[in-house]
Amino acid sequence: MCVAPLPPPSSKLTRRGVLAGAAALAGTAALTTSASAAPRRGRSRGGDLVLRGGTLLDPATGEVTEDAVVVIEGGVVRAAGTRKAVKVPEGAEILEADGKWILPGLVEAHIHLNTATEARDAIRAGATSARSGSTNFYQDIAVRELARQVPAQAPRLQAAGIFVTPDLGDTVLADPDLTELARLKDGVRSAEALRRVVAVNLKRGADVIKTRVNERAGLPEQDPLTQVYSYEQLSEIVTAAKRGGKGVLCHSYSKKGCHDAVTAGIRSLEHGVFVGEQTLHEMHRRGTYFTPTLTAIAGMIGSSDPVLDERGRTYLPVLKRAVLAAHEMGVPLAAGTDSSGGEVKPIGREVELMREAGLSALDAIRTATTSAARLLGLQATAGRLAPGFAGDAVLLDGDPLADVTVLKHPARVVHAGVTV
C-alpha cells in the first residue's frame, strides 16, 4: 500500500520547533538555554589551553614527539611540537601532561545518543566527535546543538535523525509529516514512503541517513539474516539521500544483504558480520567504509538470553576475520560501538577489538581517529593534533602503541580547548 499522494513535508513546523522538542526529549534544553544566556552569544568559540609535556602521537604519520607542547586557541590547534620548538603564549592556561601520552580526541562512528547524560558519558570516554546511528525522536539533532553550545557536554555530532525502517512504530510521532505513514499496511516499503522518510529527515536537519537491510541481532525474536529491504528499495533510499547531498549508513548482516547495500551505493556498511569477499572487493573499489561495531557483537556474549549469547559467541570470530580481510584489502575501517539504551561503551573498547582482529596498534588507533574522521568528512579538523585541527585531545596513562587498552580509560579529555 502506498500513501496516495503524499504532499511535500510541511514548512509550518519549523526546524527551530523540531530542535526545541528534540532538546526537551534529550534533556538538553536547560543546558542550551543557560549557554545562550551567557555573555558569549551564539555558538561557543571554544577554549584556550596549552597541553605541556607528555608524548604526542600523530596517528596520520605514526610520528611520536616526546616532551610535546600543543597550543589551542579558540578551540583550534595553533601549534604542536617539541617544548623547544613551540612557544607557550604568555598567561596561557596550562594543562601539565608530563608522564602522559597525548592523542587527538577519538572519533566514534556509530553511536545512539538519546540524552544529555549519554552525550556526557561518550565524551568522558574520549569520543570528542561522533556519528549518530539514529534516534527515535530527533534527539541527536538536539545533542548536536548541545555540542556546539557547550563543548564539554557532548561530542561534535553528525545526526542521522530517525531510522529508515519498515516499521516506524512510535517514531511516526516524531514529526507530523510522518503520521500519514501509519496508514501503510506493509510499513515503509514503497518508493514513495521511503522517499518521504528521507525527505523529512533532510528537512529536519539530518547530516546522514540511516537505514537497514537486515533484521536486528540484538533482539532474540528477530533473525539478523532475514532481509527487510531489497536492492531496489535501498537504491531508492540512497538516491533520495544523495539528492540532498547526504550519505547513507546501513545496518547489515547477511552476505546478500551486505552486497545489495554496497552495490546500491551506501557510504558505510554497519555490522556486516557475514560480508563476502566479493563485497569487500566492491567496497574497496567504491571506497565504501566498514564500521563493524565489534563492541556490540562482543557485548552479546554472556547475555542471560541463550539466543543472544550464542549469537555473540558465533558472530564475533566471524566478524573479526571479516575485519582483518577488509583491512588487508584496503577497505577503510571506522570504529563504532553501537552504544544505545543508556549504556555508553568506551570507543577505546572498539580499538581494542580491532587490535584483537589482527590490526597493528597504530592501524587500530587510526580506525578511531584519521579513518573515522574521513568517514565523517572531518579529515581536515579531527583525528590529529596539528595546526588548524580541532583542539580535541585525550591524555592517557600509558603507551597506546604498546597497549591499546589504555584508550578505554582516558586520564583527561579536552574538547575544543575545554577540559572535560
pLDDT digits (tens, 9 = 90+) for 102-158: 999 999 999 999 999 999 999 999 999 999 999 999 999 999 999 999 999 999 999
Residue ranges per structural domain of the chain: 43-105+383-420, 106-381
pLDDT at 296: 98
Query: By three-state DSSP, how is residue 187 classified?
Result: coil
Rounded distance, CA 325 to CA 67, Å? 37
Contacts 24+ apart (CB under 8 A), 228-231: 228/165, 228/166, 229/166, 229/189, 229/260, 230/260, 231/260, 231/263, 231/264
Q: For strand 127-132 and strand 156-158, is the pairing parallel, antiparallel, or unpaired?
A: parallel
Span 78-105, average pLDDT: 96
pLDDT at 216: 96
CA angle 358, 373, 56 (to 5 degrees): 75
CATH architecture of 43-105+383-420: Roll (2.30)
Query: By three-state DSSP, how is residue 130 classified?
Result: strand
Name the band, by pLDDT with cuts 50, 70 and 90, for residue 33. Answer: very low
Span 184-191, average pLDDT: 95
Name the band, by pLDDT with cuts 50, 70 and 90, for residue 20. Answer: low
pLDDT at 46: 86
Between residues 367 and 29, the one the model is more confident about: 367
pLDDT at 17: 52
CATH no., domain 106-381: 3.20.20.140
Is the pLDDT at 34 greater than 50? The verdict is no
pLDDT at 37: 36
Edge-to-edge strands, sheet with 68-73:
76-82, 68-73, 49-52, 94-96
43-105+383-420 against 106-381: fold identical: no
- The counts of H helices and E strands in the chain are 13, 17
